[in-house]
């Protein structure tokens, strides 16, 4: 029984209003690297508003031997700045070093008229820092919380960069090759493998 008749429906799910469905659709599309329909849809998903969707699309594109999502994979290794969506006064609801799940409340912003906007974690991870303090005034676009991805996302990004990483990515990759506090050993091992693969490609294909 062929599953291809379901492909148009999967592509439609890539535009679903729920983040988790779009993210899952990206993963599913990475399972058939012969589908140009999926390939095109994944390239479009690199422009999604949610980082977890973009990251899953970037990982899926690696399976197509497409490095278009490389910058997104590198970004997964770095703290992600979550920004205010409205002007107002901040109330921080998280602490540096705290592990949070996807959707966890990180901060609230109270508008001038008293209504509140919530800032929630777009993916599971650890609070890297809070550039703002409770009581600070912010404008839309100001960074409020920095969030580091959890070890699973980082490991997947390192695996993707094993295939598509470039020499300019080595600094970010090798951060995980060193012993970061609380970092699983498998991240160090994968970082070492990824750095080695990047250097090997650079040696084989030097830029003149």
Residue 176 lies in a domain: yes
Residue 156 lies in a domain: yes
**Opening angle at CA 167, ends 81 and 128, nearest 5:** 20
Q: Look at the chain and report how many structural domains it folds into.
A: 3
Residue 47 lies in a domain: yes
Model pLDDT, residue 62: 98
Residue 8 lies in a domain: yes
Number of CB atoms found within 10 A of residue 115's CB? 10
3-class state of residue 45 by DSSP = helix
Model pLDDT, residue 207: 60
Model pLDDT, residue 177: 85
Residue 75 lies in a domain: no
pLDDT tens per residue across span 34-44: 999 999 999 99
Sheet holding 80-83, edge to edge: 80-83, 143-149, 125-129, 99-100
CATH number, domain of 84, equals 2.40.50.100
Is 109 found in the same domain as 61? Answer: no
Model pLDDT, residue 138: 96
Is 140 found in the same domain as 102? Answer: yes
Distance between CA atoms of 46 and 50, rounded to whole angstroms? Answer: 9
* Residue 21 main-chain phi, psi, to 5 deg: -75, -40
CA dihedral 27, 40, 51, 174 (to 10 degrees): 80
Q: Which domain holds residue 204?
A: 150-208
**Could you tell me the pTM of the whole model?**
0.90
Model pLDDT, residue 1: 46
CATH number, domain of 46, equals 1.25.10.10
Is 158 found in the same domain as 143? Answer: no
Residue 11 lies in a domain: yes
Model pLDDT, residue 179: 60
Is 141 found in the same domain as 161? Answer: no
Is 158 found in the same domain as 142? Answer: no
CA distances, 183 to each of 24, 149, 186, 207 (Å): 26, 12, 8, 34
Burial class (CB in 10 A: 0-12, 13-18, 19+), 190: buried
Is 4 found in the same domain as 61? Answer: yes
Residue 105 lies in a domain: yes
Is 127 found in the same domain as 99? Answer: yes
Contact indicator for 23, 56 with CB cutoff of 8 Å: yes
Alpha helices for the chain (secondary structure H): 7-13, 19-29, 36-45, 51-63, 70-76, 151-164, 170-174, 185-204
pLDDT by residue for the chain (208 residues), tens only, comes to: 456 778 899 999 999 999 999 999 999 999 999 999 999 999 999 999 999 999 999 999 999 999 999 999 999 999 999 999 999 999 999 999 999 999 999 999 999 888 999 999 999 999 999 999 999 999 999 999 999 999 999 999 999 999 999 999 999 999 998 766 567 889 999 999 999 999 999 988 776 4
């Amino acid at each position: 029984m062929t599953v291809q008749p379901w492909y148009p429906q999967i592509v439609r799910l890539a535009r679903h209003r729920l983040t988790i469905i779009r993210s899952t659709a990206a993963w599913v599309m990475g399972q058939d690297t012969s589908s140009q329909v999926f390939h095109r849809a994944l390239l479009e998903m690199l422009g999604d508003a949610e980082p977890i969707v973009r990251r899953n699309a970037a990982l899926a594109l690696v399976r197509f031997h497409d490095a278009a999502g490389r910058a997104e994979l590198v970004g997964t290794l770095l703290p992600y700045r979550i920004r205010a969506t409205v002007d107002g006064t901040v109330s921080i609801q998280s602490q540096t070093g705290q592990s949070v799940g996807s959707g966890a409340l990180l901060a609230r912003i109270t508008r001038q008229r008293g209504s509140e906007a919530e800032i929630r974690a777009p993916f599971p991870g650890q609070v890297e820092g809070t550039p703002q303090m409770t009581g600070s005034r912010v404008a839309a676009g100001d960074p409020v919380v920095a969030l580091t991805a959890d070890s699973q996302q980082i490991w997947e990004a390192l695996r993707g960069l094993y295939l598509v990483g470039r020499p300019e990515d080595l600094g970010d990759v090798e951060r995980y090759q060193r012993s970061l506090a609380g970092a699983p050993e498998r991240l160090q091992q994968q970082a070492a493998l990824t750095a080695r693969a990047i250097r090997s490609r650079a040696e084989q294909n030097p830029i003149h």
